[in-house]
Structure 1
Amino acid sequence: MDNLNVIIIYENPQTLSHLETLVLKFEENLEVEWFSDEVKAITYIKKRKVDAALIEITNSSESRMELAKNIQDINQDISLIFCSNTIDLAYDCIQYYPADFMITPIDPLRLQRTLFRITKMQNGFLTPKKIGVKINSSYMLVDIDEILFFERVSRKTLIHLVSGEIIESYEGIKYFEEKLNNFNFFRSHQSYLVSVNKIIKIYPDSFTNNYNISVTNCKKEIILSKRKYYTLKETLI
């Protein structure tokens, strides 16, 4: 496997000392850069390949949340690891879909496992299993394998699950399309995003020039535009 390129953005000198000791144990598999300045960290990310960012956050570090957002805006494939001296900030971090949230002092074994998991993911041997869904003022983690399709209705996006449950979110379908870019989801229509793995049938619509898609465990017909039909056909063949 390739080495993991990691940046560590710290606030407290004690954390720096602690992390330096831990990283020495994994130095054969890591290439690490250290930053206390957020602007320098962002500049580095724009110029260099970064696989993961370990970010220390405290109760007073709102700018670190903004930093996490900026990192994902630059490259959403960068895995985020948060560390903090309090569990109270874990909820605020969920929206950034972190690979882990750790309490300092960091458990060496947990850090090792997280870095190994990220390495496997970056090398194509492992993919994330969950996606964070914003529901009003809270976030819910949903198993990607449980999602049948997304449906845009009015100002809401309905997430249809294998279980029959429907989750409502105010995020647009485009948002989920980008997040699930590497998970075999297909934009069949402006109002639908469907899991290709769950498709069981594609057939012409009796009343329009479009097609319909049937998925497992669901009676609802998903619209497939005529223009998208040929693209999906090439994907499946």
Structure 2
Amino acid sequence: MQNPNPNNFGIAPDIDPHQYDSWNAFAANLGYVFWAAAFLIALGYFIRLNSIGGNKEKYDFINKHEIKWLWTATIVFVIGLCCYGNASIENMNAVLFFVRAFVTIAFGLIVALIIQNLLKFYYPFFIEKRLKLLRYKPRISPKTGKPMKLLSEEEEDAYLDEGMQAEENIFSVDYDVWFDEQSGYTQIEKYSGHLHAIQCPECNYQTFKVVKEEITKLPTATEEGEIIKHYQCGYCGYKAKKAVILKHHVSKFEHTAASA
């Protein structure tokens, strides 16, 4: 018996056009499941963030986890998008079944790449604004319940040991010292220095980081030192270097003796 001629789409007239209905229904439902999971991941992150009490703790949590959590939610969302899109084509044969699978996967990769670039190069601007608000929001003294004062770079040195001052000198760490003028209570907070990206002067993305530090002159008790900081943009590859003065080193013993 001669097989009937297939139509322009490669589907023979005697093939049931609804033979993949069960798969389409399953793929659509699977898409809903992945979308719900993506929503729950994002919701879980923000619930966890809002449950954190201190501003410093929130700062660290956002800085360390937010982009990772949102990227995970994005991957799950895109998988759901691929499943739902794969189920949208009704008339199908075995060959086109794999073709549409390839097309939806390729589409999903493109969408994921676009969102990844948004999270990597644009979203850090939004995060940076929130981090600055959290970092410089006045801390409340547990002793008096009143707002504390953020000390200047010169004032805070009296509350930092030599190791902390050395870390600040090479910009590997930045310390904030909050002081309660009424009770004398101090709160020291530690922030990463050169590991934190800044805005690139070439492409304007928040991807400009220190990749190398070179001390050209060590500070002494009487003279300042110098360090060369090498920057590189993680997006456009722009490189730059900057000379930074290292404050001269004065030990606590010498400081005490001078005061006496």
Structure in which a larger fraction of residues adopt helix: 2
TM norm structure 2:
0.25
Structure in which a larger fraction of residues adopt strand: 1
Q: Return the index of the structure with the highest Cα Rg.
A: 2
TM norm structure 1:
0.26
